[in-house]
Amino acid sequence: MANYKMGIIKYIKEEFQVIQERDPAIKSPLEVLLYPSFRVMLSYRRAHKLYERGHFFRARLVSQRAARKTGIEIHPGATIGKGFFIDHGSGVIIGETAIVGDNVTLYQGVTLGGTGKETGKRHPTIGDNVMISAGAKIIGSFTVGENSKIGAGSVVLEEVPPNCTVVGVPGRIVKRDNVKIPRIDMDQCHLPDPVKEDITVLQRENSELTNRLLELEKTVRLLTGAAESIPK
């Protein structure tokens, strides 16, 4: 019993450090106890131990109670590393065979799901130090490499190499092999917009074509005028 209490105290200290590091709104350790992320992870750790021991119904009972209270659904079969943080976690879903590395941050509405057509490993593997922004959907059995960022609202359907930034529907890699992302760099807003970039390229090409067409029309008029001025 004493070891269990010491384990809880250690976990609370670790969670407070993670939450305080990534959420400047936290002012005191007691606020951590109110965090949905903290409460659901406490339940997840219990449920995961039950799941590993083969107590599947009891594990699901614990996880579903936590889901009703927090709005965060984590299957007890999922594997989650240290330093995991869910900010404003309503609507977060993590599937049974998902594997989440260390120091990963998820925002509200994130789904780590499967396609529904696979058996065995059917949910994504998330590497260390990954940030997944609000509303992003990672669907399928593939890996999101360490130190990567997934932009808000993105739908990722295929492998993401390490040190990448992915945005869009479907998700597109817009940065690769960039400087390693530190744990405190959780800016989910200032990411490239590939649609805007494509529109900018099209506008530039259209402007160039218009200018060339105007030059061609001018040349044709000059040639036509010169031809008409020649005596027959």
In the chain, what are the domain boundaries? 2-192, 193-232
Burial class for 45, CB neighbours closer than 10 Å (0-12, 13-18, 19+):
middle
* Overall CATH class of domain 2-192: mainly beta
- Is pLDDT at 184 greater than 50 in this prediction? no
pLDDT of the residue at 2: 47
- Residue 84 in this model has a pLDDT that exceeds 80: yes
Q: Quick one: pLDDT at residue 119?
A: 76
Tens of pLDDT, residue by residue over 4-35, are 455 667 776 777 777 777 777 777 777 777 78
Residue 49 half-sphere exposure toward CB, CA atoms < 13 A: 5
Which tens digits make up the pLDDT trace of 160-180?
999 988 888 887 887 776 544
Task: Between 74 and 41, name the one with better pLDDT.
Answer: 74
Q: Which of 130-134, 181-185, 187-191, 194-198 shows the lowest mean pLDDT across its residues? A: 181-185
